[in-house]
Amino acid sequence: MRKSILLLATLLPLSACTTGLGGPGILGSVLGQVLNSGAQGRGGADFQTMAIDACGAEASRYGRVAITDVQAASRSTLRVFGTVDTNQQRQAFACSYREDGRITDFDWR
């Protein structure tokens, strides 16, 4: 699992670039096989992919990102968990993503 997380963290910048081109993003297709979130929102795996891509892109502003978990908070909201590695520390984060495409909160843990 650690190798998968490292691979995902490496692919995150590529994923953020490709989602704007209409594709599902590299990270989402890989994570669909690695994570089992049980997301119940509209679009299922696509909704999960969009949440991971959006929250991962937000977190990547601070350093190298590793997504650790995705959970359904409600039918229309997913909660994405992960860590950001900077030169000085590793910080955990949680991010809520709504099905309308908005990040509703981003919390450091």
What is the rounded average pLDDT of the residues 89-95?
Answer: 96
- The domain ranges of the chain are 2-108
Query: In whole numbers, what is the pLDDT of the chain averaged over residues?
Result: 74
Whether the full predicted model's pTM is greater than 0.85, yes or no, is no
- Report d(CA 98, CA 104) in Å as an integer: 7
State yes or no: pLDDT of 77 exceeds 70: yes
Which pLDDT score is estimated for 6? Answer: 43
- Report d(CA 84, CA 93) in Å as an integer: 7
State yes or no: pLDDT of 7 exceeds 80: no
Residue from 69, 99, 96, 72 nearest 81 by CA: 69
Task: Check if the beta carbon of residue 83 is closer than 8 Å to that of residue 92.
Answer: yes
In the chain, % of residues over pLDDT 70 = 60
Which pLDDT score is estimated for 101? Answer: 93
Which pLDDT score is estimated for 18? Answer: 39
What is Dmax (Cα atoms) for the chain? 39
pLDDT tens digits along 37-75: 444 444 567 999 999 999 999 999 999 999 999 999 999
Q: Which helix (H) or strand (E) holds 14?
A: helix 2-19
In the chain, % of residues over pLDDT 90 = 55
